[in-house]
Amino acid sequence: MFDLRKNKSVFELMIGSYAMTFDPFRRKLFASSTSGSVLALDYQTWIARESSMMAHTKSTWCIASDKQKIITGSRDGFVKIWDPDSLKCLYAIPGTEGWVNAFVYDEISLITASGDGFLTCCDFSAIDKKKGAYCSVQ
């Protein structure tokens, strides 16, 4: 991280990160890693939260956050939805045979792009803690 006002580096993140997202509601930076973990940093003190999450079994390629959730996508083929306060996994949504390398979402839907060339569309309103989400592969 570089402080433009002071014209100097203030923090270096050495975790092999593929993606990161700011959460302005909690003043956190969530950074994915090549190990599958996600590091939660307070972006005023740059102190890592003790309970950063082991998000996936393979590299975490994409991450996004909003007021209610953090979403991660990985080479393990899963998209996971996390509680941003407790950092507990709420839902694990299986993708296709390939890795999840990108996603977009809104209040209703989640669309993932996989390394096998497929798009998977999931309906958030159909998510059930025991059954996952209704998803269709296109």
**pLDDT tens, residue by residue, 56-104:** 888 888 888 888 888 898 888 888 888 888 888 888 887 667 788 889 8
Residue 10 carries which side chain, given as an amino acid letter?
V
Q: Please classify residue 60 by burial: count the beta carbons closer than 10 Å to its beta carbon, then call 0-12 exposed, 13-18 middle and 19+ buried.
A: buried
Q: How many angstroms separate the CA atoms of 120 and 4, rounded?
A: 40
pTM summary value: 0.77
Residue 61 carries which side chain, given as an amino acid letter?
W
Q: Beginning with the edge strand found earlier in the chain, give each strand of the sheet holding 60-65 in spatial order.
A: 60-65, 70-74, 78-82, 89-94
**pLDDT tens, residue by residue, 118-133:** 888 888 777 655 455 5
